[in-house]
Structure 1
Amino acid sequence: MLHDPDPLLCQALAADLSAASFTALALKEAWGAPAGDAISRGLRGPAERALGDRDDDLAVLARLFVLGRAQPAASLSRALPSVGADGLVALGLATQHEAAVTPVAALRPQSYADAMGAGEWWIASDLNEAALGGPLPEEHVLGVGRASLTLTALQLPTPAVRGLDVGAGCGIQALRARRNVDNIIATDISERALWFTRLNALINGIDSIETRSGSLFEPVVGETFDRVVSNPPFVITPRSAEVPAYEYRDGGMVGDDLVAAFVAGVGEHLAPGGVAQLLGNWETRDGIDGLDRVREWVQSSAVPLDAWIVERESVEPLAYAELWIRDGGTLPGTARFAALIDAWLDDFASRKVSAVGFGYLLLRRPSSGSPTLTRYEKLHQSLSGDSLGAHLAKALETHDRLSALDTEGLAESFFVVAPDVTEARHHMPGEEDPTVIELRQGGGFGRSVNVDSGLAALVGACDGDLPAGVLIDAIAQLLDVDAAALRADLLPRVRELATMGFLDLNSP
Structure 2
Amino acid sequence: MSPERLPSRDVPRHDPAQLGALRADLTAAGFTVTAVEDLLGPVASAALHREQPLPALRATAPLVLSGSSALRGATAPTSADVPGGEDADARTAALVRVFVLGRGVPRVALAAALPTLGVDGAARLGLVQAAGAGRDDEVRARVDLRPYEAEDAAGPVRWWLVSDLGEVATGRALRTDHVLGVGGASTTLAQVTVRDRRRRVLDLGTGCGIQALHAARHAEAVVGTDVSARALAFARVNAALAGVGPERVELRAGSMLAPVEGEQFDLVVSNSPFVITPRTPGVPAYEYRDGGRAGDAVVRELVTGVGAVLAPGGVAQLLGNWEVRRGEEWHERVGSWLDEAGLDGWVIQRELLDPAEYAETWIRDGGVTPDRDRAAWDVQYGAWLDDFATRDVVAVGFGILTLRRPATGRPTLRRLEEHTGTVHQPLGGHLAASLAAHDWLTVRDDSALAAAHLVVAPDVTEERYLRPGSVDPEVVLLRQGGGLGRAVQAGTALAGLVGACDGDLAVGQVVGALAALLEVPADDVAADVLPSVRGLVRDGLLIPAGTTG
Do they fold alike, i.e. is TM over 0.5?
A: yes
Quick check: 1:9 aligned with 2:18? yes
CA deviation after TM superposition for structure 1 residue 490, in Å: 1.2
1:507–1:77: structure 2 CA closer, same or farther, 3 Å change rule?
Answer: closer
SS at match of 1:53: helix
Map of 2:115 onto structure 1: 81
Aligned residues: 505
Map of 1:156 onto structure 2: 194
Alignment-mate amino acid for residue 330 of structure 2: G
SS at match of 2:36: helix
Aligned-pair RMSD on alpha carbons?
1.4
State how far apart, in whole Å, the 2-side matches of 1:363 and 1:279 are: 11
Q: Deviations over 1:158-191 (max 9, x none)?
A: 0001010011111111111111111111011111
SS at match of 2:322: strand
Contact 1:282 1:291 in 2 (8 A): no
State how far apart, in whole Å, the 2-side matches of 1:478 and 1:244 are: 69
CA deviation after TM superposition for structure 1 residue 4, in Å: 4.9
State how far apart, in whole Å, the 1-side matches of 2:313 and 2:381 are: 43
SS at match of 1:307: strand
State how far apart, in whole Å, the 2-side matches of 1:230 and 1:294 are: 17
CA deviation after TM superposition for structure 1 residue 331, in Å: 1.1
CA deviation after TM superposition for structure 1 residue 116, in Å: 4.1
SS at match of 2:537: helix
Quick check: 1:496 aligned with 2:535? yes
Contact 2:98 2:141 in 1 (8 A): yes
> Residues 152-191 of structure 1 correspond to what in structure 2 (within 5 A)?
152-191=190-229
State how far apart, in whole Å, the 1-side matches of 2:157 and 2:393 are: 42
CA deviation after TM superposition for structure 1 residue 243, in Å: 0.6
Alignment-mate amino acid for residue 434 of structure 1: P
Map of 1:285 onto structure 2: 325
Contact 1:457 1:475 in 2 (8 A): yes
CA deviation after TM superposition for structure 1 residue 100, in Å: 2.0
Map of 1:122 onto structure 2: 160
Structure 2: runs of 5+ lacking an equivalent: 1-8, 65-89
1:471–1:431: structure 2 CA closer, same or farther, 3 Å change rule?
Answer: same
Contact 2:446 2:530 in 1 (8 A): yes
CA deviation after TM superposition for structure 1 residue 3, in Å: 7.1
Q: Deviations over 1:483-504 (max 9, x none)?
A: 1121122112111111101111
Larger radius of gyration: 2
Alignment-mate amino acid for residue 465 of structure 1: D
Of 116, 120, 130, 1:96 maps to 130
Q: Deviations over 1:377-427 (max 9, x none)?
A: 10111224x200111111111111121111111101111111111111223
State how far apart, in whole Å, the 2-side matches of 1:34 and 1:258 are: 40
Map of 1:39 onto structure 2: 48
> Residues 247-396 of structure 1 correspond to what in structure 2 (within 5 A)?
247-301=287-341, 304-332=342-370, 334-384=374-424, 386-396=425-435
State how far apart, in whole Å, the 2-side matches of 1:76 and 1:147 are: 32
Contact 1:93 1:104 in 2 (8 A): yes
State how far apart, in whole Å, the 2-side matches of 1:425 and 1:413 are: 27
State how far apart, in whole Å, the 1-side matches of 2:406 and 2:412 are: 8
SS at match of 1:141: coil
Alignment-mate amino acid for residue 61 of structure 1: L
State how far apart, in whole Å, the 1-side matches of 2:258 and 2:63 are: 50
Could you tell me the TM-score, scaled by structure 1's length?
Answer: 0.97
Could you tell me the TM-score, scaled by structure 2's length?
Answer: 0.90
> Residues 176-215 of structure 1 correspond to what in structure 2 (within 5 A)?
176-207=214-245, 208-215=248-255
State how far apart, in whole Å, the 2-side matches of 1:298 and 1:108 are: 38
Quick check: 1:18 aligned with 2:27? yes
State how far apart, in whole Å, the 1-side matches of 2:42 and 2:507 are: 49
Contact 1:413 1:507 in 2 (8 A): no
Map of 2:517 onto structure 1: 478
Alignment-mate amino acid for residue 175 of structure 1: L
Contact 1:163 1:228 in 2 (8 A): yes
Contact 1:234 1:259 in 2 (8 A): yes
CA deviation after TM superposition for structure 1 residue 40, in Å: 2.5
CA deviation after TM superposition for structure 1 residue 461, in Å: 1.0
State how far apart, in whole Å, the 2-side matches of 1:355 and 1:60 are: 44
SS at match of 1:237: coil
1:361–1:211: structure 2 CA closer, same or farther, 3 Å change rule?
Answer: same
Map of 1:108 onto structure 2: 146
Contact 2:347 2:416 in 1 (8 A): yes
Contact 1:148 1:173 in 2 (8 A): yes
Contact 2:161 2:181 in 1 (8 A): yes
1:314–1:116: structure 2 CA closer, same or farther, 3 Å change rule?
Answer: closer
Structure 1: runs of 5+ lacking an equivalent: none
Contact 1:283 1:289 in 2 (8 A): no
Contact 1:138 1:245 in 2 (8 A): yes
Map of 1:422 onto structure 2: 461
Contact 1:237 1:255 in 2 (8 A): yes
CA deviation after TM superposition for structure 1 residue 231, in Å: 0.3
State how far apart, in whole Å, the 2-side matches of 1:282 and 1:119 are: 31
CA deviation after TM superposition for structure 1 residue 248, in Å: 0.8
Q: Deviations over 1:112-158 (max 9, x none)?
A: 22454423110111111011111111111111111111011011110
Contact 2:455 2:502 in 1 (8 A): yes
Map of 2:256 onto structure 1: 216
Contact 1:155 1:177 in 2 (8 A): no
State how far apart, in whole Å, the 1-side matches of 2:329 and 2:128 are: 48
State how far apart, in whole Å, the 2-side matches of 1:121 and 1:265 are: 33
SS at match of 1:54: helix
> Residues 135-150 of structure 1 correspond to what in structure 2 (within 5 A)?
135-150=173-188
